[in-house]
Amino acid sequence: MDLGLSGQVAAVFGAGRGIGEAIAAAFAAEGASLVAIDRDPRVAEVAGRLPATGDGARALGIVADVTDHAAVRRAADSVRDHFGRCEHVVFAVAIGSGKFGFPFWNLEPEDWDRVLRVNLVGAVAVAQAFAPLLVESKDGSMLFLASVAGQIGSQTDPPYSASKAGLINFTQCAAKDLAAHGVRVNALCPGMVQTPLNRSTWDAWNRRQPEESRQAYEEWAAAKIKQLVPLNRWQQPEDIAAMAVFLAGRQGRNITGQTVNVDGGYVMHW
């Protein structure tokens, strides 16, 4: 299937690892010129591994933290200077509180601050910095990686869950604002994916358990999959990436303001 992304420019925040890296690779495989952005300097290695486009252009790697709004604006300027345009922006950045959040009053208000600054305010900063470039393209897309936790009120990590719910709502706000300019905005919700963030969720839970109740990550994860995922299997970063490029491509030209789940059936809206 030709998604029509060849020759277009995509900027992927969170491209240094996990789902973001898989999304960057998927855009590159479709022939898009890539800007890989992450706070981790290893993003330069990720960019170096991505294939060149048909005209020989190499991916651009940029180190930037989404909580540094000036750095995000500089990243947008770098994209403009390097490529002259940008058709697609993906926000695949997220952190958890690092604590097991049940019940929520075991957390302190301070446990919420950085999670909201990264997962929600960081997304807004990226959207504000890159919106002018997308408006100029008049035919692009913006995608936010949310989570099924933003739809079900997960008790595991309330700050994370609430930040993703806010991101889903902001997606709709941005979709309405940008629709007149031909730019589509959607949220993509992974389910159970084996990433460092998923493992940190297990670790926060496990540390709170008495010795006799603790489980290895593999044991805990297998039980979660069996309990929560009707298809009874992990979702892979490549599954999320496949939907990301579909939504960006020409087949997704009438999809905007939507929350799309790639979750093995975890969340079903009746």
What is the rounded average pLDDT of the residues 91-106? 86
d(CA 246, CA 248): 5
In whole angstroms, how far apart are CA 64 and each of 13, 20, 188, 199? 9, 14, 22, 24
Q: Provide the pLDDT for residue 158.
A: 93
In whole angstroms, how far apart are CA 220 and each of 125, 157, 208? 36, 16, 14
The number of CA neighbours under 13 Å toward the Cβ of 98 is 7
Number of structural domains in the chain: 1
d(CA 119, CA 146): 9
Q: Provide the pLDDT for residue 160.
A: 94
What is the rounded average pLDDT of the residues 99-107? 80
Residue 145 DSSP label: E
Is the Cβ–Cβ distance between 168 and 124 less than 8 Å? Answer: no
Question: Cβ neighbours of residue 98 under 8 Å, at least 6 residues apart?
Answer: 200, 204
Q: Does a structural domain hold residue 213?
A: no
In whole angstroms, how far apart are CA 83 and each of 9, 34, 162, 236? 8, 10, 36, 31
Q: Provide the pLDDT for residue 270.
A: 58
Least confident of 65-79, 94-108, 251-265: 94-108
Q: Provide the pLDDT for residue 56.
A: 65
Q: Does a structural domain hold residue 89?
A: yes
What is the rounded average pLDDT of the residues 193-206? 76
Q: Does a structural domain hold residue 166?
A: yes
Q: Provide the pLDDT for residue 241.
A: 98
Q: Provide the pLDDT for residue 32.
A: 95
**219-241 residue pLDDT tens:** 888 888 888 899 999 999 999 99
Q: Does a structural domain hold residue 269?
A: no
Where residue 78 sits, what CATH number does that domain have? 3.40.50.720
What is the rounded average pLDDT of the residues 150-158? 88
What is the rounded average pLDDT of the residues 39-49? 93
Least confident of 19-33, 155-169, 184-198: 184-198
* Banded model confidence at residue 102, pLDDT cuts 50, 70, 90: confident
Q: Does a structural domain hold residue 209?
A: no
d(CA 83, CA 248): 18
More confident residue, 141 or 268: 141
Residue 20: closest CA among 133, 155, 149, 123: 123
Is the pLDDT at 54 greater than 80? The verdict is: no
Q: Does a structural domain hold residue 79?
A: yes
Residue 42 DSSP label: T
Note down the domain range covering 33: 9-193+236-262
Q: What is the mean pLDDT of the chain?
A: 92
Is the pLDDT at 99 greater than 90? The verdict is: no
d(CA 109, CA 125): 23
For the stretch 81-103, what's the b/e string if a residue is b when 16 or more beta carbons lie within 10 angstroms of its beta carbon? eebeebbbbbbbbbbbbebbbee
d(CA 184, CA 126): 15
Q: Provide the pLDDT for residue 201.
A: 76
Is the pLDDT at 195 greater than 80? The verdict is: no
**58-85 residue pLDDT tens:** 899 999 999 999 999 999 999 999 999 9
Q: Provide the pLDDT for residue 112.
A: 95
Question: In the chain, which ranges are E strands?
Answer: 9-13, 33-38, 60-63, 88-91, 141-145, 184-190, 259-262
Q: Does a structural domain hold residue 204?
A: no
Active-site hit among 13, 91, 100, 160: 160
Q: Provide the pLDDT for residue 120.
A: 98
Please provide the distance, in angstroms rounded to a whole number, between the alpha carbons at the two ends of the chain.
31
The answer to whether 266 is a known catalytic residue is no
Q: Does a structural domain hold residue 36?
A: yes
Q: Provide the pLDDT for residue 101.
A: 66
